Amino acid sequence: MDEHLQRMLLAGALGMTLARRAAAILEGDAPADPRVLRAILEAANESLGHFDDRPPGERWCDATLRLLDLAAFAARLG
């Protein structure tokens, strides 16, 4: 497998795992460490910034919703 493709797949898998963990924390199914949740939400907001040029303060809600959408997608994948 091409090294670049492997890195992209690994990054996607990491993102899906983080999305599942963030959703579990938000739903109360996992112990909440505010620093970890904040880091995940900030990373989601930063990632969304690659596609959305609004300032971070204006897109954090969309970033959270997209994170939850990814978590639901990851759950459907198994």
How confident is the model over 53-76, as pLDDT tens digits? 999 999 999 999 998 998 898 888
- Predicted confidence at residue 52, as pLDDT, reads 94
Q: How many CA atoms lie within 13 A of 8 on its CB side?
A: 5
Tell me the pTM.
Answer: 0.77
CA gap 54, 72 in Å, rounded: 25
